[in-house]
């Protein structure tokens, strides 16, 4: 009776374990779905696309390192192998002393110990050129690469932590950044970044003089898009050049991130009238139009909040009639009393995949980066920034023209400590004036340049 009851208890315990495992599997499966949705939403960012490359580099290095260790093992046991050839195979004592095969360790499952070894290699290897076919002598990777490597391997570990081979290894169930050795490596890479740049002379070797371009270089880049349009056909060359030029000037006018610029929709654009009273009191009711871009998505905004960025414009280029933007209430996608507007999905800067494209497919990060790098190489420019050059440029120019640091931070939606940004919705007028090239300390110095020259 006792044994039967014990067996029944064991069966109940097994059933409970299986039920608990099933619940955990379901929870993990739902977590993977959410993570997959987030990855799809962030697919245009370069970091998301770089993750598989880091995992591939880890596996390739691990296999090569295991091969190196195997060669060392074989060399160390070579003498023993020759000695075993002279021993009687029938002697049991000799069998116990036979050389052991190399204890191969696979790259998976990923554990913190394996990642530590790989990070030690990453800290000392030379940087690779574009495409990874060769290396740059006397260089080492920076802290951003180390951080991205850890993040990519951690993402892979989490996605596969319910696989049988991972569940069989308890060490693979621990987050990489919870390991003290990995924490130390990441902290050391951060502290040694300045010494790394000084030792490798990276910036001097590349001829870098600033993080972004100068005003003269901005004019040169803007003219280059007009004078040297490049593309597969004459029509597409002109279209691509106009798009790239507008993206450049757009980002430099309001400190927009490069990857966020690719996501702007036509429906995100708005015009607001800003009060601009003169200091002498003669024009109390003077108001100036400002371009406002509203956005609820981007690399720096993953919570769906409405961010606004602003810029002053000079004048309407053409006095065209307003297009017909009437909503369609009969469309199946209509949302209640608001109707449906197909143009709400039209991107300001779209991927020109075909002449008859609908302008709803965003530019990829790689495409945007290549467009910027191609022009930098063609014009022999030496600034460090690529897609984010306009963001640095706007901040530099606005502060140089008299804007306060807080206003520039508000202009570019840089984060503020505390909850101040939740309650302050006023426009950073002095930063907008300074970014437009006027005196940020005298906001009434702003005027419509086209009106002044009679255009």
Instruction: Output the 3-class SS for 263-332.
Output: CCEHHHEEEEEEECCCCCCCCCCCEEEEEEEEECCECCECCCCCEEEEEECCCCCCCCCCCCCCCECCCC
Identify whether residues 156 and 221 lie together within a single domain.
no
At a CB cut-off of 8 Å and minimum separation 6, what does 364 contact? 44, 351
Q: Which two tokens stand for residue 240?
A: 């691509």
Return the pLDDT at 119: 96
The residue among 310, 340, 303, 337 whose CA lies nearest residue 325 is: 340
Q: Is the peptide bond before 109 cis (omega within 30 degrees of 0)?
A: yes
Q: In 59-213, where do the E strands start and end?
A: none
Taking residues 300-304, report their average pLDDT.
58
Residue 301 lies in a domain: yes
Q: In the structure, what pLDDT confidence band is assigned to residue 269 with cuts at 50, 70 and 90?
A: confident
Q: Crossing angle for the helix pair 180-191 and 112-124, nearest 10 degrees?
A: 20
Identify whether residues 307 and 417 lie together within a single domain.
yes
Q: E strand or H helix at 372, and its extent?
A: helix 365-379
Return the pLDDT at 205: 46
Identify whether residues 57 and 119 lie together within a single domain.
yes
Q: E strand or H helix at 122, and its extent?
A: helix 112-124
Single residue among 185, 206, 227 that ends a domain in this structure = 206
Distance CA 222, CA 245 (A): 6
**pLDDT over 90 at 112, yes or no:** yes
Residue 98 lies in a domain: no
Residue 93 lies in a domain: no
Residue 80 lies in a domain: no
Summarize pLDDT for 101-111 with one digit per residue, the tens. Answer: 889 999 999 99
Identify whether residues 304 and 436 lie together within a single domain.
yes
Identify whether residues 316 and 282 lie together within a single domain.
yes
Taking residues 429-444, report their average pLDDT.
83
Half-sphere exposure of 363 (CA within 13 A, CB side): 25
Q: In the structure, what pLDDT confidence band is assigned to residue 297 with cuts at 50, 70 and 90?
A: low
At a CB cut-off of 8 Å and minimum separation 6, what does 413 contact? 255, 300, 301, 307, 308, 309
Return the pLDDT at 55: 95
Single residue among 206, 233, 265 that ends a domain in this structure = 206
Summarize pLDDT for 324-362 with one digit per residue, the tens. Answer: 556 666 666 665 566 677 777 778 777 776 555 667 777
357: left (phi over 0), alpha (psi -120 to 50) or beta: beta
Return the pLDDT at 364: 78
Choice among 36-40, 164-168, 203-207, 376-380 with the minimum mean pLDDT: 203-207
**Across the strands, what pairs with 340?**
328
Q: Residue 132's domain spans which residues?
A: 49-67+103-206
Taking residues 212-230, report their average pLDDT.
85
Identify whether residues 192 and 252 lie together within a single domain.
no
Return the pLDDT at 70: 92
**pLDDT over 80 at 9, yes or no:** no
Distance CA 218, CA 196 (A): 30
Alpha carbon separation from 141 to 92, 116, 147, 347 (Å, rounded)? 54, 16, 11, 36
What is the CA 120 to chain-centroid distance, rounded? 24
Q: Are 263 and 307 in contact (CB under 8 A)?
A: no
Taking residues 122-131, report their average pLDDT.
80
Single residue among 143, 171, 206 that ends a domain in this structure = 206
Distance CA 416, CA 425 (A): 13
Query: Domain of 427: which CATH number?
Result: 1.10.443
Return the pLDDT at 318: 40
Identify whether residues 271 and 369 lie together within a single domain.
yes
**Percent with pLDDT over 90 in the chain:** 16
Residue 9 lies in a domain: no
**pLDDT over 50 at 317, yes or no:** no
Q: In the structure, what pLDDT confidence band is assigned to residue 87 with cuts at 50, 70 and 90?
A: low
Residue 446 lies in a domain: yes
Choice among 46-55, 73-82, 400-409 with the minimum mean pLDDT: 73-82
Identify whether residues 398 and 309 lie together within a single domain.
yes
**First-to-last C-alpha distance (Å) of the chain:** 103
Summarize pLDDT for 15-72 with one digit per residue, the tens. Answer: 555 555 577 777 777 877 777 766 665 555 556 678 888 999 999 999 999 999 999 9
Identify whether residues 410 and 316 lie together within a single domain.
yes
Return the pLDDT at 319: 42
Segment of 119-123, 279-283, 450-454 carrying the highest mean pLDDT: 119-123
**Mean pLDDT over each residue of the chain, to the nearest integer:** 76
The helix/strand/coil state of 237 is: helix
**pLDDT over 70 at 168, yes or no:** yes
Return the pLDDT at 77: 80
Return the pLDDT at 320: 43
More confident residue, 332 or 214: 214
**Percent with pLDDT over 70 in the chain:** 67
Residue 171 lies in a domain: yes
Distance CA 172, CA 301 (A): 31
Start-end of H helices in 192-233: 193-200, 202-206, 215-227
In this structure, what is the dihedral angle of CA atoms 134, 139, 141, 142, given to the nearest 10 degrees? -150
**pLDDT over 90 at 454, yes or no:** no
Residue whose entry in the numeric block shows the structure tokens 């490596």:
185
Residue 74 lies in a domain: no
Identify whether residues 197 and 222 lie together within a single domain.
no
Q: Are 153 and 115 in contact (CB under 8 A)?
A: yes
Q: In 120-268, where do the E strands start and end?
A: none
Distance CA 98, CA 105 (A): 21
**pLDDT over 80 at 285, yes or no:** no
Identify whether residues 285 and 387 lie together within a single domain.
yes
More confident residue, 202 or 154: 154
Q: In 22-154, where do the E strands start and end?
A: none
Number of Cβ atoms within 10 Å of the Cβ of 384 = 15
Angle at 217 between CA 211 and CA 218, to 5 degrees: 90
**pLDDT over 50 at 188, yes or no:** yes
Indicate the number of domains in the chain. Answer: 2
Q: Is the dihedral of CA 134, 136, 140, 142 positive or negative?
A: negative
Identify whether residues 142 and 198 lie together within a single domain.
yes
């Amino acid at each position: 009776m006792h044994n039967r009851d014990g067996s029944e208890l064991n069966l109940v315990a097994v059933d409970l374990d299986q039920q608990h495992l099933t619940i955990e599997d379901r929870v993990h499966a739902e977590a993977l779905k959410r993570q997959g949705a987030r990855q799809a939403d962030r697919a245009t960012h370069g970091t998301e696309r770089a993750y598989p490359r880091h995992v591939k580099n880890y596996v390739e290095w691990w296999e090569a390192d295991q091969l190196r260790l195997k060669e060392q093992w074989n060399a160390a046991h070579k003498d023993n192998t020759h000695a075993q050839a002279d021993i009687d195979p029938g002697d049991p004592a000799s069998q116990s002393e036979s050389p052991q095969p190399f204890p191969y360790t696979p790259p998976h499952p990923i554990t913190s110990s394996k990642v530590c070894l790989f990070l030690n290699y990453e800290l000392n290897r030379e940087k690779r050129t574009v495409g990874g076919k060769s290396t740059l002598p006397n260089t080492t990777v920076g802290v951003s690469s180390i951080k991205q490597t850890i993040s990519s391997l951690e993402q892979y570990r989490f996605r596969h932590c319910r696989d049988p081979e991972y569940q069989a290894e308890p060490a693979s169930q621990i987050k990489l950044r919870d390991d003290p050795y990995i924490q130390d490596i990441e902290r050391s890479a951060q502290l040694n970044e300045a010494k790394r740049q000084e030792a490798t002379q990276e910036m001097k070797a590349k001829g870098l003089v600033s993080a972004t371009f100068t005003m003269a270089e901005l004019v040169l880049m803007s003219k280059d898009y007009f004078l040297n349009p490049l593309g597969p056909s004459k029509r597409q060359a002109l279209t691509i050049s106009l798009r790239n030029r507008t993206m450049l000037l757009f980002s430099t006018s309001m400190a927009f991130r490069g990857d966020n610029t690719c996501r702007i929709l036509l429906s995100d654009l708005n015009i607001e009238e800003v009060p601009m009273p003169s200091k002498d009191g003669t024009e109390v009711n003077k108001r100036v139009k400002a371009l406002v871009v509203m956005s609820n998505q981007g690399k720096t905004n993953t919570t769906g909040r409405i961010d606004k960025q602003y810029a002053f414009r000079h004048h309407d280029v053409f006095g065209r009639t307003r297009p017909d933007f009437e909503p369609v209430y009969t469309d199946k996608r209509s949302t209640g009393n608001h109707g449906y507007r197909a143009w709400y999905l039209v991107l300001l800067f779209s991927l020109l995949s075909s002449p008859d494209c609908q302008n709803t497919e965003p530019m990829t990060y790689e495409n945007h980066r290549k467009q910027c790098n191609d022009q930098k190489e063609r014009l022999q420019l030496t600034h460090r920034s690529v897609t984010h050059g306009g963001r640095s440029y706007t901040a530099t120019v606005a502060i140089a023209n008299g804007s306060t640091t807080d206003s520039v931070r508000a202009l570019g939606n840089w984060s503020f400590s505390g909850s101040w940004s939740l309650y302050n919705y006023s426009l950073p007028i002095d930063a907008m004036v300074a970014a437009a090239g006027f005196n940020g300390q005298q906001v009434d110095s702003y005027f419509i340049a086209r009106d002044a020259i009679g255009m």
